[in-house]
Amino acid sequence: MALGFLSKLKEGLAKTTRALAGGLGKLVGLGRGAEREALAKLEEVLVSADMGIRTALKLREEIEAMLRRGEIRSTDPAALLAPIRRELKRLMPRRASEPIRAARPPTVVMVVGVNGTGKTTSVGKLAKWLQEGGRKKVILAAADTFRAAATEQLSIWAERAGVEIVRHGHGADPAAVVHDAAEAAVARGADYLLIDTAGRLHTRENLMRELDKIRRVASRKIEGAPHEVLLVLDATTGQNAVSQAKKFADCVGLTGLFLAKLDGTAKGGVVVAIWNEIKVPVKYVGVGEGIDDILPFDPESFVDALFPEDLTKDAT
Ligand code: GDP
């Protein structure tokens, strides 16, 4: 991953790494013979970063075993960083998950998620990202016709990203919007059709039925559509994000996640918990409110940014 990406990721994870450094710093001074206490503290630190109990336990057990085997000799936080990094990388997917592309354009990306998670912002960022500086043609479908301001807000993002948008009025049939948008995408030779969907309806069943209908309309117009179904999650909601991910994975079927607001939380470890729970890859992360505050997600760089070599320098 390019250097610019890495520093942006580190910046985005600053709150989390600061919390981790503070927590691990407490291991200093426990002295020899205090391994049990140190391991318990380590587990606590990992849980508080929202990595999930299972991950924290697994890491603790691994470190414990390494100590027993004499592979590491100290519970000094600096000495633990390398094994933590190695174990986390083993728990996470090997490589970054490539965004899915249709064999024949347009690639249809359906974006789902609860209101307030950062869905509209993330669709805007994604539109600009996929456009690759004007080399690709992206069309947005404003299929959240339920929330009064949704279409208006999405139009603003379309303008910022410099992409076209297909929209109907508030309260219109979202399937009709998708129908028109799909026709426009084919007719205009678009590379991507990005469908923004409702984050809330009167009931959950209604929402699921609507998302299903959108899928069917898209697939009737464009072979294999939607090729990608991305769920936007708010990283600041921690374990709540994990349970949302589970529900959507069960009901809608997901190909990837867009984890927004990673910069706004000290609980960036939630990325690990989500992977552990549902095995749907994070494909993008949001690290700010601006249109360019988006990063493709790479597990290896993520772990390196979360536990950099100098993490405990200030704490020790
Ligand atoms: P929606 O209701 O899910 O469509 O959410 P919005 O896109 O309107 O975003 C809700 C709030 O989250 C807004 O204030 C956004 O600026 C903010 N937001 C979205 N993504 C990010 C992000 O990656 N980082 C930060 N710090 N704020 C974000």
User: For residue range 75-113, what is the model confidence (pLDDT) as tens digits?
Assistant: 788 888 999 999 999 999 988 888 898 989 999 999 999
Share of residues in the chain with pLDDT > 70 (%): 97
Q: Relative to the CA of 199, which ligand 1 atom is closest?
A: 3
Query: How high is the mean pLDDT of the chain?
Result: 92
pLDDT surpasses 70 at 31: no
182 close to 221: Cβ distance less than 8 angstroms: yes
Distances, alpha carbon 254 to alpha carbons 36, 46, 116, 171, 312, in Å: 40, 27, 19, 26, 37
Q: Which of 77, 94, 111 is the last residue of a domain?
A: 94
The first and second tokens of residue 207, run together, are 């929402």
pLDDT confidence tier of residue 35, bands split at 50, 70 and 90:
confident
Do 80 and 128 lie in one domain? The reply is: no
Mean pLDDT value across residues 17-22: 91
Question: Does ligand 1 come within 6 angstroms of the Cβ of 197?
Answer: no
pLDDT of res. 315: 53
Do 52 and 172 lie in one domain? The reply is: no
Question: Does ligand 1 come within 6 angstroms of the Cβ of 231?
Answer: no
Q: Which of 94, 126, 161 is the last residue of a domain?
A: 94
Do 108 and 84 lie in one domain? The reply is: no
Q: Which of 72, 94, 116 is the last residue of a domain?
A: 94
What is the tens place of the pLDDT at every residue in 231-270? 999 999 988 999 999 999 998 999 999 999 999 999 999 9
pLDDT of res. 30: 66
Range of the domain at 207: 103-304
Residue bearing the CA closest to ligand 1, atom 20: 118
Which of 73 and 255 is assigned the larger pLDDT? 255
Q: How far apart are CA 313 and CA 21, in angstroms?
A: 8
